Structure formats: structure tokens, C-alpha cells
């Protein structure tokens, strides 16, 4: 714990707490904070000028990060028949119908994403109280309730990300690993930030991007100038 404290203090000195960095400059600085013993995640928090209490100001969307998140994604597919075979051939980690639903009901949650065919959603809906709070419930809005199982599994394996504003008006998400290096992190961040900007509700008034802060798992935050994202085009 002491060594982490010393390391954090050294990293803290590298960051100008009064400065708003351009996003690419901030990411290059973050990349310099790479830990030799741990491949930390690069994370971002967008504080938005929306009120999530109102349904018309909810911000939620999906984005396919060009370089993924740098971690293995374990995918469950609820399907049967030909679609079960399609899921297996697409590389899904766990595939099934009633048996898999029962397994989850009994407490098994050793997976990261779920996909379901529309004909099974009546049964999968029984898992709402288990999967919903964990952000694991299949949803047609995110492309995870579909008969195109191969496409859904392929996109999730490649780094498809589902983000949603929380009740405090913040979108928090990882956008890669520090081992990616600055260029890949910049491209991932550009895609994510562009998607957040495009998801701005029509009813949102005033400033939309209130603040943007990036950090790694164990680094201090680096403030990004929201204006540097104004003309952002995803890489």
C-alpha cells in the first residue's frame, strides 16, 4: 500500500490540476503513467448537462471501439435450434435456453454480456431482477435481442460498448488499456466521445458536456477541455 501511495504522489506531480488539457494531449500524458506491474484500464467520466430523471433526457447508446477494451468478453446467448448452433460457431462462451436460464436463476453469473433471440425473451424476462441491476439484460436498443446472433456476438467480441448516463448525470466508461499506447487510446476515446456527443437529447438545454476527466485504474484524474471535443470526428 505504501508503494502505491508513493507512486500516486509521483504521478500527481505530472498533472497540472488547474489546466484543461486537449483530449489527445491528456491521453498522451495518461499513457506515460503506465504501471510496469499492472495493465491498468483507461477510464473516462463525462458529466453531462442532462436530468436523467426525465425519460426524454436519458442518454444511452452503443459504440464499437476500434481497438476493443483489451479484455476477454464472456458471452451468454439464450437461443435454441439453429440459432444455438449459430451462437456456438460465432464463438459464444455459453449457449442454451431453459437450462441456462435456470442456471442464472440459481445464482450463476460468470459472464460479461448476454444476447437473446426474440422468441426466448418471454422466458429471459424472468431474469430481469438478476440481470437488470448488473446491466446484463438483453435489450433490442443495444442490438442484443436479435436473430442475427453471429453479428451480435462478433461485435461484442470486437469491443462493442453499451454506455448509459447514471442518475447523477455522469457517463462513466473504460476505453482501453494503457498498454494500447497513446494512438490506439486516442482512437478509442474519439469513437466513444463522438457517440456520447451524438446521443445528446433534443430536450437538453445549455451546456451538454459539463466536464470530462480521464484516469487510469490507479492514477490521478486529468481534466479535458470539453471545447476540444467540439469538432471531434471519430477515428
pLDDT in tens, 33-89: 887 688 899 999 999 999 998 999 999 999 999 999 998 899 999 999 999 999 999
Q: What is the mean pLDDT of the chain?
A: 91
Q: Which residues contact 60 (CB under 8 A, 6 or more apart)?
A: 141, 162, 163, 164, 165, 199
Q: What is d(CA 214, CA 193) in angstroms, rounded to the nearest whole number?
A: 12
**Cβ pair 197, 42 in contact under 8 A:** no
What is the reported pTM?
Answer: 0.82
Query: pLDDT of 178-188, one tens digit each?
Result: 999 999 999 99
Q: Which pLDDT does position 234 carry in this prediction?
A: 41
CATH topology agreement for domains 15-69+161-229 and 75-157 = no
Query: pLDDT of 154-177, one tens digit each?
Result: 999 988 998 999 999 999 999 999
With a pLDDT cut of 90, the percent of the chain lying above it is 75
Domain residue spans in the chain? 15-69+161-229, 75-157
- What CATH number labels 75-157? 3.40.50.790
Task: Answer yes or no: is pLDDT of 6 > 60.
Answer: yes
Instruction: Give the CB-side neighbour count of residue 222, counting CA atoms within 13 A.
Output: 26
- What CATH number labels 15-69+161-229? 3.30.190.20
Amino acid at each position: 500500500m505504501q508503494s502505491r501511495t508513493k507512486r500516486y504522489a509521483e504521478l500527481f506531480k505530472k498533472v497540472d490540476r488547474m489546466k484543461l488539457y486537449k483530449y489527445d494531449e491528456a491521453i498522451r500524458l495518461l499513457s506515460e503513467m503506465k504501471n510496469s506491474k499492472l495493465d491498468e484500464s483507461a477510464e473516462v467520466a463525462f458529466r453531462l448537462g442532462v436530468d436523467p430523471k426525465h425519460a426524454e433526457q436519458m442518454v444511452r447508446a452503443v459504440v464499437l471501439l476500434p481497438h476493443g477494451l483489451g479484455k476477454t468478453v464472456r458471452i451468454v446467448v439464450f437461443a435454441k435450434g439453429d440459432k444455438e448452433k449459430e451462437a456456438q460457431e460465432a464463438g459464444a462462451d455459453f449457449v442454451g435456453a431453459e437450462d441456462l436460464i435456470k442456471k442464472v436463476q440459481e445464482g450463476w453469473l460468470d459472464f460479461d454480456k448476454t444476447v437473446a433471440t426474440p422468441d426466448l425473451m418471454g422466458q429471459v424476462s424472468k431474469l430481469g431482477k438478476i440481470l437488470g441491476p448488473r446491466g446484463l439484460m438483453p435489450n433490442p436498443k443495444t442490438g442484443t435481442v436479435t436473430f442475427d446472433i453471429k453479428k451480435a456476438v462478433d461485435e461484442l467480441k470486437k469491443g462493442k460498448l453499451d454506455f448509459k448516463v447514471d442518475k447523477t448525470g455522469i457517463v462513466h466508461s473504460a476505453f482501453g488499456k494503457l498498454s494500447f499506447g497513446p494512438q490506439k487510446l486516442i482512437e478509442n476515446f474519439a469513437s466513444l466521445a463522438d457517440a456520447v456527443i451524438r446521443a445528446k437529447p433534443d430536450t437538453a438545454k445549455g451546456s451538454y458536456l459539463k466536464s470530462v476527466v480521464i484516469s487510469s485504474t490507479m492514477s490521478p484524474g486529468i481534466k479535458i477541455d470539453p471545447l476540444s471535443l467540439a469538432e471531434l470526428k471519430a477515428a
